[in-house]
Amino acid sequence: MLTSECICTHLRRAARGVSRHYDEALVGFGINVAQFSLLRHVQRLDRPSITCLAEAMGLERSTLGRNLKVLQAEGLVRLADGEDQRNRVVLLSEAGRACLDAAYPAWQQAQAQLVKRLGEGQRDELVRLLEQLA
């Protein structure tokens, strides 16, 4: 393997490996880790607007819209009118809530495996560094 000093190269490689780890844990639930994360954000933010959800996830609205369409087609989320017609809110459906409830223990196990691998101190430092870069 070629070595590189490029931070982006290392971050992208690590992100692919971490995503693969979570995706494998979630395979039996019909969602991947990006979809799980989106559903969790909708759950935690409780009726977020599309703009608010995009900002919270660090996504462009167009990217979020494409991801929401997939979850909407699966019946996991629905869109509703917000305070005005220009503003739509994202709602977690009962199927979405059930999917999260079922998948959450698998996500927790995948999370615990990575924390065990890194150790809590390195995990905390990694999160701090990633927040600094974001």
Question: Domains in the chain, please, with CATH?
Answer: 13-133 (1.10.10.10)
Long-range contacts of 32-37 (CB under 8 A, 24+ apart): 33/107, 34/67, 35/67, 35/70, 35/71, 35/76, 36/100, 36/103, 36/107
Where the chain has pLDDT below 70, the residues are 1-2, 85
Q: What is the pLDDT of residue 86?
A: 72
Q: What is the pLDDT of residue 82?
A: 79
pTM of the model as a whole = 0.89
